Amino acid sequence: MKIALINNLYPPYIIGGNEILAHDVVEELRRRGHILHVIVGKGRDLPADGYTHGVLDLDLDRKNETFLGEKRPTPIDIFNWHLFNRKSYKTTKQLLQFIKPDLVIVWNLYMASMAPLVAASKLRIPTVIHVCDKWLLYSLKDLEPLLRPSTLWQRLATCLLRETLQKALYRMVDLSYIISISHFIRDKYTALGFPEDAFRVIHLGIPTDLFAPVPKSPKGKINFLYVGGLWEGKGPQVAIRALGHLVHQSGMTNVHLDCYGEGTENFKRYLQGIIKQQGVGEYVSFHGFVERDKIVKAYQTHDILVFPSIWDEPFAAVPIEAMSCGMAIIATTAGGTPEAIEDEVTGLLVPPNDPVELAAAMKRLAMDGELRSRLGRTAAAVARKRFDFATYVDKLEECYEQVIHRSKQRGGIP
């Protein structure tokens, strides 16, 4: 197959696991003999390999301003980022006409508008849409949960866009085949009118041979681990407050929390303020963004993963990676996470945004080594059975071939 995968970002430009997963899928499909072209935003550090095309009207070198909220969007920004960007439409259409792919995969167009998807639909190229979060929902159905308009005119403008342009865009794009990362995300879409028969749920996969469990040596200190972006939705502030409760209310001083991930300077200052307020400066360390091999080592050498998301987590890779490494896991019930972690079997589940409940679970696992071991062993076995990366790509490959075959039968390929 010759495939054009369209994404907003692509490594080395990374916000979270979604970009890493897209890259891993691309590389695996190439290893299987398929030709992959990647269409993304513009960035100086994109690979100059002839197959990575930075043509979307999105400056990846300023990703913090765009994706992490450092820039206050203007009405024009909102239109170009979330609805329709004329420049991206033109460049995507021209590139697709040049490449002539058998299939277009639209992975994520958050902040890249619906223009690339409209271009693929107008050219009648078979298209598979991946929804790993709510990006398509926001752009085609309702921007209000994303923009949170506060004034009357802002609410009226959002309503006007929903009833006019968004309805028009919904009719223009090909929504016949959508791969959802979880049942939770699928249900969010179908509840707002997306066709149920278009969806297939495929949970993500990870290279379980890379994320391998190793025996843990008994030691006096319990090392907690946080892996993820440093922003409010991921809940690192909740983990720090829970740590404060653990240290000062429960009297556990043989603990430490290591945080791996990046965020804006404003949010990092906010976290430092919470650390000072909680009096846990000596119990928390930040390591920033690190390469995958260091993350693997962190999973293998720490005792307990804390995954404290408070937003509607679609279905994250971090808990799966930690499961594969045999870690004991504490995660929240937010979003699709319970589809991966079974409470008291492969981890402990707690309510989101509740530092007291999180602290209680942290204390329980810290004091019960037998429970940690049992949860870790079971998690590692389940990860290998349910979330192996090669099996995941097998399923994707089957879907892609099915869409191409169906389109040929209907005369859909120009």
Alpha-carbon 396 to chain mean position: 17
pLDDT of residue 407: 84
pLDDT of residue 162: 92
CA–CA gap between residue 249 and residue 362 (Å, rounded): 13
- 3-class SS at 42? strand
The reported pTM is 0.89
CA–CA gap between residue 145 and residue 43 (Å, rounded): 29
- The domain spans of the chain are 2-205+389-410, 222-386
CA–CA gap between residue 180 and residue 175 (Å, rounded): 12
CATH of 222-386, one of 3.40.640.10, 3.40.50.2000, 2.40.30.10, 3.40.47.10: 3.40.50.2000
CA–CA gap between residue 124 and residue 128 (Å, rounded): 12
DSSP state of 227: E
Whether 414 shows a pLDDT value over 80: the answer reads no
Where do the DSSP E strands lie in 61-135? 103-108, 127-131
Whether 400 shows a pLDDT value over 80: the answer reads yes
As a whole-number percent, the residues of the chain with pLDDT over 70 amount to 99
Which residue in this structure is represented by tokens 């870790």?
376
Tens of pLDDT, residues 231-263: 999 999 999 999 999 999 988 899 999 999 998
CA–CA gap between residue 270 and residue 160 (Å, rounded): 36
Tens of pLDDT, residues 36-89: 999 999 999 999 999 999 999 999 999 888 887 777 888 899 999 999 999 999
Phi/psi at 231 (nearest 5 deg)? -150, 165
Class of the domain covering 2-205+389-410: alpha beta
Q: Which residues, other chains included, contact 143 with Cβ-Cβ below 8 Å and sequence gap of 6+? A: 78, 82, 158, 161, 162, 166
DSSP string, 291-335: -HHHHHHHHHH-SEEEE---S-----HHHHHHHHTT-EEEEE-ST
DSSP state of 230: B
DSSP state of 148: -
CA–CA gap between residue 399 and residue 30 (Å, rounded): 16
Tens of pLDDT, residues 170-229: 999 999 999 999 999 999 999 999 999 999 999 999 999 999 998 877 677 999 999 999
Where do the DSSP E strands lie in 71-212? 103-108, 127-131, 178-180, 199-201
